[in-house]
């Protein structure tokens, strides 16, 4: 239909997975992740050798400055231990043998610095390639990273961060943590990458900072050029390269609608960008529906980079702290003292509202090389979470002691992941009480600790009434609950169409769990990603949820939605949903009722649409 | 010259972070500090991170540490303490 006009390129569309919501338009900034550069050999005249050596040293100084910067940024965003890898990179730049080898190669062979760097580096990498230990061998990627930096510095190109304009949209094959740490996020409007997943650090950081991000965009990197116009719609997972004027116009209307929603809302809470600029902390005022039902909104947190969002977005404390982050920081099990310090920090951050720490949810996809993975054939159903903790009691006891000690200095709760049988709760409680007694004998102070169960396995839902008598609270993890209930691997694109948050079986399980908690008079917090979507959160409220925990940046829009609805009407609509036979029926019902009832709160694009396929 | 036998105890061996700590520690002394695999298959200058990484010392590797110079005892003690202590990153 549209003929290619000279100078104008055809619009191209990609469908990916949205890992951090929002909508942004801007210009592509390609970030290459360790792509090898071509290096040529040039022979120097005798009198050029000295200058070449000086040029090499100048490049080293530049790289050193960059690395110091990167390390500082990484420390701030990801934690000091995570930044330590850059210490190793800096030491490589100070490695006398390495530098002397390069300089003498320049002198003896009379070649350009690039060639000398490449020859010496290749020799090194050849030796590393012989290393049999897989983990140690992989460290050659650190050497490659440093080499790449030196070559870039020699080429006179700017560091990636320096080229950021105000409307940069990062496009990468895969944004590695080191590259992510280097970016000045204040200037990044969105991220789009070929690879990566929901749990990648980039996705987590993007969510924490409220930047839209879409991943799983095959070959986008190859097609996009720095400076190209691009739209990233992380509400639908769509990315448009070279948008036509029509598409741009449509996009502007959406942005305007978003902005209007901000104005009509009672607080500046619509566009993530606007919020980041405003930067003001939102006081955690009570959230009430129009008919006076009080709701509590908390934050899910993993990275220190997300701590700032807890206050900024007005969360009532942390509803879910994914403690596994501590492992990624240390390359090894963090000690009791290190863990205790991290938990005390959470308690200090959240004050009277408190923080709920989830025991290490290890196993399956999260082991990545840290612990000897048994190479399970079915990790999602394998030795993970509470099962792993009970198997590796040494790890469990260290974590329990750290939490008990930290609880003496603030309000902390502990939640046990992947409970499928009440016996798991009893065994864990026994360990906790033993460690409490031991700490007291040692003369250490311990604090009161509420113990909760994650409800994410169907068997736990079915015995929820009995489970409710053995724990102090429930925490509904909707992501895993849907995965286990519907038997859908949520990291497998092929079956993404079967992952239906509004499946009647999911709603009945949530309803049953909430009822069991209410009957036993214990609190229940819903902390899966469902809580972060206004339409889903509406249904959750209708099913009786009063306590939701989500990515902090999602809190404002959920809060605005809740303040604009009546809990009673939500209850009636949820009751209708429970009568439905299929996920399609529920989605159609919810889409229709919300769109008619509250058109300003639920514009069409945020409503579930049945069978939304290409 | 002084020397001591040590065994790498931390789970990941002399990986980048551990190696960085080792090099920083060794570099604080004036003596020459070297690490050699007990089977003599490789040896490294403890002040060069690339050299230390090349040892590929995984957990359980037996090493011979040597130091030579004015502060050789202190240097050897500090480096060995780091290795024996598992670089402070033991599971327990």
Check residue A227 and give left, alpha or beta (phi > 0: left; psi -120 to 50: alpha). left
Beta-ladder partners of A193: A172
SS3 A310: helix
Using pLDDT thresholds of 50, 70 and 90, give the confidence band for residue A265.
very low
Q: Could you count the other beta carbons within 10 Å of the beta carbon of residue A154?
A: 21
| B89 against A195, higher pLDDT | A195
Strand pairing category for A168-172 and A188-193: parallel
Cβ–Cβ gap A124/B23 under 8 Å: no
pLDDT of residue B1: 92
- Asked if residue A86 has pLDDT above 50, the reply is yes
Residue A611: the pLDDT is 47
Average pLDDT over residues B67-83: 94
Q: Which residues contact A406 (CB under 8 A, 6 or more apart)?
A: A339, A340, A343, A344, A346, A347, A412, A447
**Mean pLDDT across the stretch A407-427?**
97
Give the integer Cα–Cα distance in Å for A18 and A25: 15
Q: How far is B2 from chain A (nearest CA, A)?
A: 23
Average pLDDT of the residues in A247-256: 79
Nearest chain B CA: its distance from A388 CA (Å): 15
For the sheet with A213-215, list strands across it.
A12-15, A238-241, A229-233, A23-31, A168-172, A188-193, A213-215, A17-20
Q: Encoding tokens for residue A37?
A: 């550069």
Which residue would you say has higher pLDDT here, A399 or A161? A399
Query: Tokens for A581?
Result: 């036979």
Percent of chain A with pLDDT over 70: 80
Whether pLDDT at A343 is above 80: yes
Q: What is the DSSP letter of A111?
A: B
The pairing of beta strand A524-526 with beta strand A23-31: unpaired
pLDDT band at A271 (very low <50, low <70, confident <90, very high): very low
Check: CB of residue A330 under 8 Å from CB of residue A386: no
Give the integer Cα–Cα distance in Å for A134 and A129.
10
SS3 at position A90: helix
* pLDDT per residue as tens digits for the range A278-324: 334 556 678 999 999 999 999 999 877 778 788 888 899 999 999 98
Cβ–Cβ < 8 Å for A458, A488: no
pLDDT tens for B12-23 read 788 888 898 899
pLDDT band with cut points at 50, 70 and 90 for residue B75: very high
Q: How far apart are CA A584 and CA A490, in angstroms?
A: 19
pLDDT at A482 over 80: yes
Q: Answer whether A127 touches B (CB < 8 Å).
A: yes
Helices (H), A544-611: 555-563, 567-578, 583-597
A358 beta partners: A322, A415
Q: Please report how many Cα atoms fall inside a 13 Å half-sphere around the Cα of residue A427, on the Cβ side.
A: 15
**Using an 8 Å Cβ cutoff, are A526 and A542 in contact?**
no
Looking at beta carbons, which residues of chain A come within 8 Å of B11?
332
Cα separation, A411 vs A534, whole angstroms: 29
pLDDT of the residue at A224: 86
> Which among B15, B50, B53 has CB closest to A97?
B50
How many C-beta atoms lie closer than 10 Å to residue A183's C-beta?
23
CA distance, residue A79 to nearest chain B CA (Å): 15
Task: Verify whether the Cβ–Cβ distance B17 to A85 is below 8 Å.
Answer: yes
Query: Any alpha helices (H) in A156-198, and if so which ranges?
Result: 177-182
- Token pair of A349 as six digits: 């951050």
A268 — pLDDT class (breaks 50, 70, 90): very low
> Which pLDDT does position A284 carry in this prediction?
64
Catalytic residues of A: 201, 527
10 Å CB burial of residue A108 (0-12, 13-18, 19+) is exposed
- Interface contact flag, A139 B10, Cβ < 8 Å: no
Q: What is the pTM of this model?
A: 0.58
Decide: B70 and B6 in contact? Cβ < 8 Å. no
Interface of chain B against chain A, CB under 8 Å?
10-17, 19-20, 23-24, 45, 47-51, 53-54, 56-58, 88-92
Enzyme catalytic residues of B = 15
pLDDT at residue A365, as a whole number: 47
Residues of A in contact with B57 (CB under 8 A): 136
Q: Which of A11, A457, A56, A5 is nearest to A241 (CA)?
A: A11
Q: What is the dihedral of CA A495, A496, A498, A501, to 10 degrees?
A: 150
Distance of residue B89 Cα from the nearest chain A Cα, in angstroms: 6
Closest CB to A139 among B16, B88, B91:
B16
Give the CA count within 13 Å in the CB-facing half-sphere of A366.
Answer: 20
SS3 string of A498-535? HCCCCCHHHHHHHHHHHHHHHHCCCCEEECCHHHHCHH
Pairwise pLDDT comparison (A130 vs A566), residue with the higher score: A566
Are the C-beta atoms of A190 and A276 separated by less than 8 Å?
no
- Whether the CA torsion A392, A393, A398, A404 is positive or negative: it is positive
What pLDDT score was predicted for residue A330? 59
Average pLDDT over residues A400-421: 97
Distance of alpha carbon A587 from the chain centroid: 27
Q: Of the given ranges (A83-92, A228-237, A495-504), which has the lowest mean pLDDT? A: A83-92
- SS3 for chain B is CEEEEEECCCCCCCCHHHHHHHHHHHHCCCCEEEEEECCCCCEEECCCHHHHHHCCCCCCCEEEEEEECCCHHHHHHHHHHHHHCHHHCCCC
- Tell me the two tokens of residue A516: 């069991």
Q: Does the beta carbon of A470 lie under 8 angstroms from any beta carbon of chain B?
A: no
Average confidence (pLDDT) over A89-112: 92
What's the mean pLDDT in A501-510? Answer: 96
Q: What is the pLDDT of residue B59?
A: 86
Phi then psi dihedrals of residue A521, to 5 deg: 55, 40
- List pLDDT tens digits, range A437-449: 999 999 999 999 9
Task: State the best of A88, A128, A134, A391 to mutate against chain B, taking most chain B CBs within 10 Å.
Answer: A88
Round to whole Å and give the CA distance between A98 and A181.
26
Instruction: Look up residue A93 and give its two tokens.
Output: 């730049």
Q: Is the pLDDT of residue A50 over 70?
A: yes
- What pLDDT band is residue A199 in, cutting at 50, 70 and 90? low
Q: Do A128 and B17 touch (CB under 8 A)?
A: no
pLDDT at A138: 61
Give me the total of CB pairs closer than 8 Å, taking one residue from chain A and one from chain B: 81
Most confident of the following: A209-218, A225-234, A375-384: A225-234
| Closest CB to A84 among B17, B45, B54 | B17
ipTM of the complex: 0.89
What pLDDT, on the 0 to 100 scale, is given for residue A3?
A: 44
Q: Is B20's CB within 8 Å of A87's CB?
A: yes
Q: Which residue has the tokens 């924490």?
A: A208
């Amino acid at each position: 239909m549209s003929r290619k006009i000279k100078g104008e390129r055809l619009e191209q569309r990609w469908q990916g997975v949205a890992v951090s919501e929002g909508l942004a338009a801007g210009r592509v900034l390609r970030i290459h992740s360790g792509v090898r550069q071509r290096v040529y050999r040039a022979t120097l005249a005798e009198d050029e050798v000295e200058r070449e050596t000086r040029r090499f040293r100048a490049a080293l100084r530049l790289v050193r400055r960059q690395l110091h910067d990167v390390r500082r940024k990484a420390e701030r965003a990801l934690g000091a231990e995570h930044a330590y890898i850059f210490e190793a990179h800096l030491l490589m730049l100070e490695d006398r043998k390495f530098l002397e080898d390069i300089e003498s190669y320049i002198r003896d062979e009379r070649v350009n610095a690039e060639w000398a760097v490449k020859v010496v580096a290749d020799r090194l990498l050849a030796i590393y390639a012989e290393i049999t230990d897989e983990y140690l061998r992989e460290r050659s990627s650190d050497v490659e990273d440093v080499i790449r930096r030196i070559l870039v510095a020699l080429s006179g190109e700017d560091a990636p961060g320096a080229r950021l304009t105000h409307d940069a949209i990062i496009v990468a094959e895969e944004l590695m943590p080191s590259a992510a740490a280097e970016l000045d996020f204040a200037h990044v409007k969105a991220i789009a990458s070929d690879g990566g997943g929901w749990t990648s650090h980039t996705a987590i950081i993007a969510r924490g900072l409220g930047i839209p991000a879409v991943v799983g965009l095959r070959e986008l990197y190859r097609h996009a050029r720095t400076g190209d116009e691009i739209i990233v719609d992380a509400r639908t997972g769509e990315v448009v390269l070279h948008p036509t004027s029509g598409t741009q116009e449509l996009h502007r209307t959406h942005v305007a609608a978003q902005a209007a929603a901000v104005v009509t809302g009672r607080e500046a809470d619509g566009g993530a960008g606007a919020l980041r600029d405003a930067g003001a902390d939102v006081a955690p005022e009570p959230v009430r529906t129009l008919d006076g039902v009080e709701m509590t909104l908390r934050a899910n947190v993993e990275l220190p980079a997300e701590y700032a969002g807890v206050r900024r977005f007005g969360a009532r404390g942390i509803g879910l702290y994914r403690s596994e982050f501590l492992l990624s920081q240390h390359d090894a099990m963090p000690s009791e003292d290190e863990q205790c310090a991290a938990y005390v920090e959470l308690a200090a951050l959240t004050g009277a509202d408190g923080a709920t720490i989830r025991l290490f949810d290890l196993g399956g996809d999260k082991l990545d090389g840290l612990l000897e993975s048994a190479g399970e054939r079915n990790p999602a159903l394998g030795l993970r979470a509470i099962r792993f903790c009970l198997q590796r009691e040494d790890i469990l006891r260290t974590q329990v002691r750290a939490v008990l000690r930290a609880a003496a200095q603030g309000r902390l709760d502990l939640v046990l992941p992947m409970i499928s049988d009440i016996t798991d709760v009893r065994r864990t409680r026994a360990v906790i009480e033993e460690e409490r007694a031991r700490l007291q004998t040692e003369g250490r102070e311990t604090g009161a600790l509420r113990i909760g169960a994650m409800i994410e396995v169907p068997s736990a839902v079915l015995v929820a009434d009995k489970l409710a008598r053995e724990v102090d609270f429930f925490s509904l993890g909707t992501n895993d609950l849907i995965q286990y209930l519907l038997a859908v691997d949520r990291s497998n694109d092929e079956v993404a169409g079967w992952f239906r948050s509004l499946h009647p079986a999911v709603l009945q399980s949530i309803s049953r769990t909430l009822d069991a908690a209410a009957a036993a008079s214990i609190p229940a917090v819903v902390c899966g990603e469902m809580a972060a979507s206004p339409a889903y959160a509406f249904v959750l409220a209708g099913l009786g949820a009063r306590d939701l925990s989500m990515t902090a940046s999602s809190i404002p829009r959920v809060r605005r939605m809740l303040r604009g609805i009546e809990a009673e009407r939500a209850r009636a609509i949820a009751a209708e949903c429970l009568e439905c036979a299929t996920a399609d029926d529920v989605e159609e019902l919810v889409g229709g009722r919300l769109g008619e009832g509250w058109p300003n709160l639920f514009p069409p694009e945020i409503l579930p649409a049945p069978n939304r396929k290409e | 010259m002084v020397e001591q036998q040590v065994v790498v105890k931390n789970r990941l061996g002399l990986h980048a972070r551990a190696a960085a700590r080792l090099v920083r520690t060794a570099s604080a002394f004036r003596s020459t500090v070297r690490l050699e695999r007990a089977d003599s298959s490789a040896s490294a200058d403890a002040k060069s991170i690339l050299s230390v990484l090349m040892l590929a010392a995984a957990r359980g590797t037996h090493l011979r540490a040597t130091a030579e110079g004015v502060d050789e005892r202190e240097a050897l003690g500090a480096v060995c303490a780091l290795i024996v202590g598992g670089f402070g990153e033991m599971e327990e």
